[in-house]
Structure 1
């Protein structure tokens, strides 16, 4: 059976259908395995380096100092313990006009850090590094390459850190537990924990992460972890190699979801191409199957024979796709591997096995329903060629194939929500596109009588438009397939550009590009005066740290929510602020703003205004009673309104605002934002020189760094989209080839009846132009709809509807399909009618 199937495969390979099938499978499997190989390498790296990514066997993190007793208990068990503190602050080098300032992420560590892995340092920039011995000694610091470059610092240079001056001892090249650069936007400065008090940087409002690193015998560590977990309070958490570095896993999971979604689009288009090619393959093999039935072949024998042929084809195409995917994943590695501070091991064989299985599932989900027609072909077809393909069980076969394809989508997506989104979107798109195509085909056929551009041309156009209605089902299939391919292309090019342009326009040109935090109350007026003297208009706002404890009298914690963002918000302290008037860039979406009576209300009459997004995440509404713990006191407040905040203004906005009287007298630090033109850039150095404790955040620089990282992910996604584009081209070719072959016998009959080639040429061009124009129009409408959905629901901004896309896509679709279709059918017009008639219809 396999030998016979192999001979049939070699013979049928000379036909176009199997080549299309193989190409579609290769592209789909290559897209999936390229993502799979890279994801497998990341997973292995995280598993292998999990302890080094923590710098320990167990990591205890809090937003306040850990009790000394906890570290003592760990040491009493024979475990190693080291403390670190991480926070952002400004550092400077030089004086006067030579002063350079830079926001840095400062990490103060104990002498035994790290407990797992090793630091690596270099004696200068662009010099080979080596494992470090110990940590920076008292009075010295290690800076990473970015900080050394931005400050122009070399080994031995003094750096001002708060109220201390420390000297650069080495260039830090590797920090095992730093993790992913995506969240470490500011450059790193590593210092000795003993030098931290002298800097006087830890003040009210400082965002400090207090960490205890624990290592030792794993069984002892596990017992210690089990005993500590029940004692954790708000703001404290444990990380181990299984749940450690959630930001790394989350960010990489998101990147892989984007890549996986691109691969899913490739699978969808490949499924369309496979279905088109299979349909044509079955039509061409009805006659051979009828002959074999006459020679004694049973239905089961025919089915086994063709299934074996497709198994061989599927295995070969999937293997080719795996090889191509393996080569392609190196491009993803080049762009995304730098997000990890650890080398990636070679991939395993699991992605290849998954690729082969996906290829076979895709092939049989789309090809088996048409194949079932072959075993039911009537033997009478040998005598009566007009007998078409049998339709018995065809609907059930296609429904089964669609169910198998849906299961495949869920499996590839890796999660129910994403899989359901893709399956539902694909189903709705197919239904809507098919409905629109059928309506427009009917309207085009009805309008053919209005074509009067010359007698000869009018005949060609009328016949071409009438052909659409005469083969309505075939025309709808071709239009839907082409529309899917065109829509993928439009989303990849025009719509994506519109979204990027809208995002850039969403940020005002004079939006604040500097934030200043950690302004102490006694410094507010001096800082304001200095800024006003520079022609700036600062708006300073107080920040009071508070932790949400109850909602409507019910205690809340991270365990109260299943959403990750809600858990993070509840688990940390909020930055509360006070305001008498509604801030610029804020508008009420529910409830009201503070009334004159609210401005004097405290205690039971205290009120608050909550940002709409926070309210949605935490399930808050107008009238809810919130309770915060501020400086040890419990403060209750009633939500009287929700605000829609335009975060694109880049102003200092807050999730929760109260009237000034509610939080009067509580410890606060102040924040401000302002726009600093390039010619006044030196003002930052002067500000830091006079107020060393301030932290100036250059938002423009941070956005540039984040944008650079996002561009890496975008390039990777676009690389996978190339497979989607290739699948779209295959769909286009399959649809046009199917259209051309179906016209072979009809053209021969018409030529035998006296039709001239010029008349047939015009009729075919009219039909192809109509198909292409309709597909382009439907694809443009779909791309506009998807683009609006992405802009509003994902990116949260307004994007103008590009109405020019409708006529442009319509014209381009007509030209493309007409040109490609003519290339496909030109040879048919050159074929002698007798030769075509002898070949018969199929």
Structure 2
């Protein structure tokens, strides 16, 4: 019997393929699988690229990283175990060539660098690549091609790096431990570690990253890591290949989550189309089931046949969706592939299997209840057409759909809490959308007797099928709302953010200013007719204790809290709060107060669990500095003014080693000033915020464009929901159309009535979407980004007009077949 069910399901599937419900169901599966696999293929290529270059992401098997010079004990322990070692330091600074000044990422390496991978250089910009045995020799410097272009020098010229000049000997084209271009905003300049003292750029207060590289036998490396963990200083940490490039890994993981969740929105809508199509298909197959039962087929045989049909459709459609997803991922690679300097390897076959799993799970989760009811059709239906299978239990339909969606969310997000939150938000949003949609349908009832014949016919159709119309409205409202949020509200928020900045906002930062350099720098600004900026002291310290409780990064669940607990803070001191800071709890210190006080930024306090009155201990230059939290502040971080997380009275930190920082605005007239400042004070670093923001915004725009691209599947899935609903009401529409044609209505009048129904439905869905997008945009602006929000009229125009046009056109395409069938044939069939 099982073999017979298998063969019969395959043969009957070929006969039933012309059924509109099966075509809609298959299309929904193709869209869902294509959305998921397009993201899956891309993320698989990313993960394979990072795996293939794992050791090269460090240039070694292990690295000890510190903001201070690494102790000799750690390097001695490595050599005693037969491991190879190398050292390098990195820091930002301005390099000079003639009157040209350019911020660069300086990297000073010793003769052993790199331990894994190979450097690549060329003799001239864009020339053939070579693989040298080691890094630059003493007195030499290698620079990236873009620095040649920006500053106009050639191989053989001399660059001023701090207090010394170094000869440009080669063009640097590849570093094995750089890993990708993401967040590396300044061009690289590499020179020999022996030349660092001559530059005068590395001082105890400088922002320098020291690295000790270790490589060798795996067992020896593991032994060294276990030995070194207990001997690390407070500022030192160990990174393995799994820890390399955390900023790249975290950014990619976040992008993967967003893309995956965007794909799941398409899966959710496709699941709705599958449920509607399967429900209507099961109703249409009631006659077939009754005949099969009359001819001796058992209930189990009937159920197996229809379940096997469902599985055939799921499998074949999933394969087609995986093929479409592979083609779609090429666009994602074009958008985001530039994040990886070495390119991306070919994808594996694993996303195909995950796509098949998504297709099968989605079909079974949303269509299984309707298929199971086919076996419950009584054989007597052959004689009595009114007899049919009882509808599936609501708890089974909703429960299975929720479990399916929860499993897909957990699989895609990889985070149980995130999956629960997204699932809860989806349920609440769906209920609200359905409730509002039902209310809108109910409010249309009084209008059924007004307007022309076509409009009355369309409104009557919406009102008669209230539940189905509410489901259609909520599904389309969700899809259109997502597109509106991505296409328009995002632009509004970015515009509000830009307008929130004053026209004279600072566009440069100057850091690593020594105390004795503050007054000469002020004089330099004034000598050129410019206002001297305000300089703020900056002391580096690590948070050691909160109320006698040691601060351990591993104790925090939040990734941000863990990073903050592990980092060194830039502390400051002053007699008054900065102009854009606002005290929200406690008060600022006054003359005569206890000097052991801290003022903490509100967000930092919430993240690390710091409250008013808590006693904080910071480790500064090997000493403990203690004080109580006497005020909490809000800080306008996007003002581009200098701001700090923690501020103290001057007397508390005045004896600690400090550098100064300032921000200021310079336009075209300031280029010569920056070069003069760097020549006079080589240790200072000038950051051009304009270039920084352009790079970061470019990254954000490409990631957002990729999410919008994936959301196109959401639009396709929403259209599929409409087609499924059209197919579900096809027989009803055929009978209504036949009756109207018999009573004298022309084909043109009937088509106008159907179009009016779809146009009204699309306009209502767009209205619902525009309202939801406006509300969410307001919440994002007011509660998340603290930005002003203004209602965008184009949001409503695009929502209502676009919804009416899109849904109307899709409905017209699906309803044309209703008008082709002769009325007499329809009435005879109904009889």
Is the partner of 1:135 in helix, strand or coil?
Answer: coil
Please report how far the alpha carbon of residue 155 of structure 1 lies from its aligned counterpart in structure 2 after TM superposition.
1.1
Distance in 2 (alpha carbons) for counterparts of 1:316 and 1:51: 41
1:687 aligns with one of 673, 677, 693: 677
Structure 1 range deviating more: 339-348 or 627-636: 339-348
1:669 aligned onto 2:654: no
Q: Deviations over 1:306-354 (max 9, x none)?
A: 1111111111111111122223223333333332344433322221111
Partner of 2:351: 351
1:749 aligned onto 2:739: yes
1:733 aligns with one of 723, 726, 730: 723
Answer yes or no: is the 8 Å Cα contact 2:483–2:708 preserved in 1: no
Q: Which runs of 5+ in 2 are unaligned?
A: none
Partner of 1:469: 463
How big is the alpha-carbon RMSD for the aligned residues of Structure 1 and Structure 2? 2.3
Cα–Cα, structure 1 residues 832 and 217, in superposed 2: closer, same or farther, change >3 Å? closer
Partner of 2:706: 716
- TM-score norm. by structure 1 comes to 0.93
Please report how far the alpha carbon of residue 91 of structure 1 lies from its aligned counterpart in structure 2 after TM superposition.
0.7
Distance in 2 (alpha carbons) for counterparts of 1:248 and 1:139: 33
Structure 1 range deviating more: 684-693 or 210-219: 684-693
Partner of 2:489: 495
Alignment of 1:497-512 (within 5 A): 497-512=491-506
Distance in 2 (alpha carbons) for counterparts of 1:366 and 1:495: 32
Runs of at least 4 residues of structure 1 off by over 6 A? Answer: none
Is the partner of 1:297 in helix, strand or coil?
Answer: coil
Cα–Cα, structure 1 residues 75 and 830, in superposed 2: closer, same or farther, change >3 Å? closer
Partner of 1:650: 640
2:763 aligns with one of 773, 789, 797: 773
Distance in 1 (alpha carbons) for counterparts of 2:76 and 2:377: 83
Answer yes or no: is the 8 Å Cα contact 2:122–2:128 preserved in 1: yes
1:92 aligned onto 2:96: yes
Please report how far the alpha carbon of residue 565 of structure 1 lies from its aligned counterpart in structure 2 after TM superposition.
2.2
Partner of 1:563: 558
Structure 1 range deviating more: 588-597 or 687-696: 588-597
Cα–Cα, structure 1 residues 461 and 387, in superposed 2: closer, same or farther, change >3 Å? farther
Please report how far the alpha carbon of residue 739 of structure 1 lies from its aligned counterpart in structure 2 after TM superposition.
4.3
Distance in 2 (alpha carbons) for counterparts of 1:184 and 1:432: 44
Distance in 2 (alpha carbons) for counterparts of 1:742 and 1:509: 62
1:620 aligns with one of 610, 614, 630: 610
Structure 1 range deviating more: 123-132 or 473-482: 473-482
Q: Which runs of 5+ in 1 are unaligned?
A: none
Please report how far the alpha carbon of residue 461 of structure 1 lies from its aligned counterpart in structure 2 after TM superposition.
4.2
Alignment of 1:448-487 (within 5 A): 448=448, 451=450, 453=451, 457=452, 461-487=455-481
Q: Deviations over 1:786-822 (max 9, x none)?
A: 3334445655534323355346523443344344434
Partner of 1:221: 221
Q: Deviations over 1:222-264 (max 9, x none)?
A: 1111111112231111111233332232122112112112211
Distance in 2 (alpha carbons) for counterparts of 1:629 and 1:317: 61
Please report how far the alpha carbon of residue 180 of structure 1 lies from its aligned counterpart in structure 2 after TM superposition.
2.9
Please report how far the alpha carbon of residue 757 of structure 1 lies from its aligned counterpart in structure 2 after TM superposition.
5.5
Alignment of 1:375-524 (within 5 A): 375-387=375-387, 389-393=389-393, 395-448=395-448, 451=450, 453=451, 457=452, 461-524=455-518
Answer yes or no: is the 8 Å Cα contact 1:63–1:235 preserved in 2: yes
Is the partner of 2:230 in helix, strand or coil?
Answer: helix
Is the partner of 1:681 in helix, strand or coil?
Answer: helix
Partner of 2:322: 322
Cα–Cα, structure 1 residues 381 and 446, in superposed 2: closer, same or farther, change >3 Å? farther
Please report how far the alpha carbon of residue 556 of structure 1 lies from its aligned counterpart in structure 2 after TM superposition.
1.3
Distance in 1 (alpha carbons) for counterparts of 2:51 and 2:454: 67
Structure 1 range deviating more: 415-424 or 804-813: 804-813
Alignment of 1:105-116 (within 5 A): 105-116=105-116
Alignment of 1:288-303 (within 5 A): 288-303=288-303
Q: How many residues align?
A: 826
Cα–Cα, structure 1 residues 153 and 814, in superposed 2: closer, same or farther, change >3 Å? same
Partner of 2:17: 13
Cα–Cα, structure 1 residues 296 and 42, in superposed 2: closer, same or farther, change >3 Å? same
Please report how far the alpha carbon of residue 761 of structure 1 lies from its aligned counterpart in structure 2 after TM superposition.
5.0
1:833 aligned onto 2:823: yes
Q: Deviations over 1:578-599 (max 9, x none)?
A: 222221222223222333444x
Distance in 2 (alpha carbons) for counterparts of 1:824 and 1:359: 24
Is the partner of 1:92 in helix, strand or coil?
Answer: strand
- TM-score norm. by structure 2 comes to 0.94
Cα–Cα, structure 1 residues 669 and 565, in superposed 2: closer, same or farther, change >3 Å? same
Cα–Cα, structure 1 residues 14 and 795, in superposed 2: closer, same or farther, change >3 Å? farther
Structure 1 range deviating more: 382-391 or 351-360: 382-391
Please report how far the alpha carbon of residue 388 of structure 1 lies from its aligned counterpart in structure 2 after TM superposition.
5.3
1:38 aligned onto 2:33: no
